[in-house]
Structures are given as structure tokens and as C-alpha cells.
Amino acid sequence: MELGKIMRFNSDVVVNWLVRGIIAFTRLFAYRTRVKLFGFIASYVVAPLFGFIKKAVRNLQLVHPEMSASEARKIAHEVAANFGKNMIENYSKHDVAAALKPENIGGAGYDQMMAAIAEGRPVMLVSGHIGNYEAMRIALYTLGYQSACLFRPASNPHFDEHYTQNYGYLTGPAFPQSRKGFLGFTRHLREGGIATMLFDVRATQYEDVDFFGIPAPTSDVPAKIAMKTGALFVPCFAHRGPDGMTHHIEFETPIEHRASYEMMAEMSARLEAQVRRYPAQWLWFHDRWGTAEVRAQRVAAKLETAASGGDATELNTTNNKDH
């Protein structure tokens, strides 16, 4: 085995056991203490160590140039705490389900969604990385329904083993982002199932959709799958209550089927409205827009394509950041 591969193997094993150890340690505590402890560790140990606070500050000030560095850092730490809470909650799904209050599950599109489920119509729930996005599947479980999801396998094969199992635990089938996974996901919908999908990732081979007034590469796959299967396209968002523990699940008015990027532009606007309401609960350290250099390169590529008589909206890059 090459030295590089040996070092990678050893580091993957160490990281896996470190994460498992932290999870096992926090599970010695009561649920509320466990969640708060994991949030604290993520916010003040993990996020600063791996540069996530700096990334979040950079993105916050990109969108809000008037925001001070101290305010941006405060939000960034809250974002990291939310992410840490999500992680341990997703290893404590029974506890989350028990804590979910029926009165906190609703929204303007709830009745339409339930009517579609009753008549056997496929339902596609689309969301972003806000609140605990897995809580919407847990909410469906408490209502008596299973739902499928698409997930990106972890790059660490040792961690991925229990990470993958956890996605499918309790809430329904989980399909990896692969050709086979997409086929299984689509089949689940065609058969009248409920499926969930997150869309707010930087997918560089797709067109730009404005997010906070800044072009962001956005996949139109969720819209295309919904139209292909005839699924009701329902924006769904989770957010934490003031205590940082309770979850509120909002099923919004469905988006009508039309041109795929028109659907995704509306979906992006819906998410932006949620992020403006709950700025500390969205994953600001994700590289949603790319660096200034990357954004400039995309603009230049569009102008070059337009000048040559092509479609300026068609970009085909090999560096896909769809994650």
C-alpha cells in the first residue's frame, strides 16, 4: 500500500473513532444536555478548528456588507451550534420524535400535502440546510408516514458505514447520490411515496439562480423529478424555537409545475425568506456562491458564450461542487 493511502486510511480511522467517541460520550447524558453539549462542542471547538467560522463570516459579509465582523462571528457560532445539535439529534431520532409537538407541525400547504398523500399522489418535499432539516422526515414519521431521502455518502468510508445506516433509521429509505440511488428515489415517488430533497448546494454545472441577490449555481433536478413523477412540489422548512430545542415544521404552499428554473427560482426565494427570518439557522459556512474569483469566472464564461452566439445560461464545468 502506498504511503499516502496508508496515511489517509489511518486518518479516516482516527476521525471515525473520534466522532463515534464523542457521540458515545454525549449519549451518556440526558437528551437536552446531550444536544446542548454537542452544540457547544461544534460551536467552540470543531468549527473554529476547521475554519468554518471564517467561512461563515465571509459569506455573511458578502450578503450583508454592512454587517460588522463581531456580529457575523456571533451568528457564525450560532450556526455551528445548530449544526452540532443537528448531528447528535439525528443520532437520537426517537427523542426528537417524542419532543415534536403536533401543534408545531403545519403551514399553509399542510392540508394540500395531506390530501395528496390520502389520494396516493407522490409528494416531493424540498428544503434547504436550515434548522434541523431531518426534522421534517421525523415529523412525517410522527404522523404515520415514511419518506425517502437522497444523501451524499461521506468521503470517510469508516464513518460512512454508520452515517448511511442512520439516514434510513426510523424515517424511511435513504438513497445515495448515484445513478442507482436516483433511480430508486424516483421509483419511490412514482409508486406514490413521499420523498425529501435539499437543493441549496453549489452545483457548478447548472444554471445560476439569484440567492440574496447574488447568482448561485443551482440544480433544477428537484423540479424535473417532481414533473417527471407528477409529484406535488412542496417547500418545507424546519426551524428551532427560542429554547434551541423545540422544532417547528412548516409545509408551505406547493409550487406549481412549470419551467424547471422558474420553479427553482421560486424555491430559492422561499428559502431566502426563511433565512432572513432565522439567519443563525442556515448553513452559512457552505460555499454557496463560491469565491470572488469563481463568481467572476462564471460571469466571464456566460459573456463569452453569449458573444459566440450560444446560450449564455448553459455552463458545463467539470468541477461540480454539488454537496
Q: Total domain count for the chain?
A: 1
Is 151 inside a domain boundary? Answer: yes
Predicted TM-score of the model (pTM): 0.88
Is 265 inside a domain boundary? Answer: yes
Per-residue pLDDT band for 311 (boundaries 50, 70, 90) equals: low
Mean pLDDT of the chain: 89
Is 299 inside a domain boundary? Answer: no
Mean pLDDT is lowest, of 86-90, 181-185, 289-293, for 289-293
- For the record, the C-alpha cell of 173 comes out as 429509505
DSSP 175: E
Note down the domain range covering 94.
Answer: 3-293
Name the amino acid, one letter, at 87. Answer: M
What pLDDT, in 10s, does the model give residues 75-127?
999 999 999 999 999 999 999 999 999 999 999 999 999 999 999 999 999 99
For residue 41, which of 29, 26, 20 has the smallest C-alpha distance?
Answer: 26
What pLDDT, in 10s, does the model give residues 196-212?
999 999 988 999 999 99
pLDDT exceeds 60 at position 17 = yes
As a whole-number percent, the residues of the chain with pLDDT over 70 amount to 92
- Looking at per-residue confidence, does 320 or 23 come out higher? 23
Is 137 inside a domain boundary? Answer: yes
Per-residue pLDDT band for 314 (boundaries 50, 70, 90) equals: very low
Is 302 inside a domain boundary? Answer: no
Measured CA to CA, the distance from residue 69 to residue 72 in angstroms comes to: 5
* Pairing of β 123-127 and β 232-240: parallel
- For the record, the C-alpha cell of 308 comes out as 459566440
Beta carbons within 8 Å of 322's beta carbon, 6+ residues apart = 177, 201, 202, 203, 204, 205, 219
Is 305 inside a domain boundary? Answer: no
Per-residue pLDDT band for 10 (boundaries 50, 70, 90) equals: low
What pLDDT, in 10s, does the model give residues 55-76?
999 999 999 999 999 999 999 9
Measured CA to CA, the distance from residue 88 to residue 34 in angstroms comes to: 8
Listed in sequence order, the DSSP H helices in the chain are 3-26, 31-41, 47-49, 52-63, 69-89, 93-99, 110-118, 135-142, 157-168, 179-190, 221-229, 260-277, 292-307
Is 316 inside a domain boundary? Answer: no
Measured CA to CA, the distance from residue 119 to residue 24 in angstroms comes to: 43
pLDDT exceeds 80 at position 315 = no
As a whole-number percent, the residues of the chain with pLDDT over 90 amount to 73
